[in-house]
Chains A and B, each alone.
Chain A
Amino acid sequence: GAGVSQSPRYKVTKRGQDVALRCDPISGHVSLYWYRQALGQGPEFLTYFNYEAQQDKSGLPNDRFSAERPEGSISTLTIQRTEQRDSAMYRCASSRVLAGTGELFFGEGSRLTVL
């Protein structure tokens, strides 16, 4: 696609439900990042992939959070048993080169609200 596409753009869920956020990177981009951003703050690193390999997941807050990118393209960030503190904007970014060497292209984000 022309840009990084994230879906859904808005998700409202009840506490305790699982949610899956999808990221479709720019075609051919090899690295993919997930960030979380609270209002008025900078993006907080969660995890990243080079191709299908998850290289670093040190930013995932706890084991309720997981991410995958099975075919090296689309990625899914899953949050199990959501809590109100999980409410935030979740942003995905991709890069045409291996992580660490080039610019990131960000999607518009998925805004998660946990009631």
Chain B
Amino acid sequence: SQQGEEDPQALSIQEGENATMNCSYKTSINNLQWYRQNSGRGLVHLILIRSNEREKHSGRLRVTLDTSKKSSSLLITASRAADTASYFCPPLGGYNKLIFGAGTRLAVHP
């Protein structure tokens, strides 16, 4: 499969807690991206990590990539209610198209 598979399917936490989402894929990749989608609205790009990178930070986001295990993780620290959304991790290989999985639905409760 060319898509990323997010795990867990759903995650519920309290505001201020950290949220960790995992992603697995099956093919070799050039990069892997994380996207967020709030309430069925448009998807927003969060971060891109290249295959030769192991970790990347952007604000409260930390992404790791382990190409030997074909897996990635997204950590959101000090979560906020506004982080409530679905998160997707489409990997990108030689086929030049992003294939999305079902996503992780994160709910952050005040």
* A interface residue numbers (CB < 8 A to B): 33, 35, 39, 41-45, 48, 55-56, 89, 91, 93, 98-109
Contacts and interface: CB of A to CB of B under 8 A. Distances in A.
Q: For the complex, would chain B's binding face be called helix, strand, loop or mixed by DSSP majority? A: loop
A100 B40 contact: no
B7 to A, nearest CB: 13
B44 interface: yes
B54 interface: no
B96 A99 contact: yes
Interface in B25-64: 30-31, 33, 35, 40-45, 48
Nearest to B99: A45
B34 to A, nearest CB: 10
Interface of B: 3, 30-31, 33, 35, 40-45, 48, 86, 88, 92, 94-103
A100 B103 contact: no
A44 B97 contact: no
Contacts of B42: 91, 106-109
Contact of B98 (A45, A55, A98, A109): A45
A102 B3 CA distance: 16
Nearest to A100: B96
A42 B96 contact: no
A35 B37 CA distance: 14
Contact of B100 (A39, A44, A102, A108): A44
Contacts of A43: 43, 88, 100
Contacts of B102: 41-42
Contacts of B86: 42
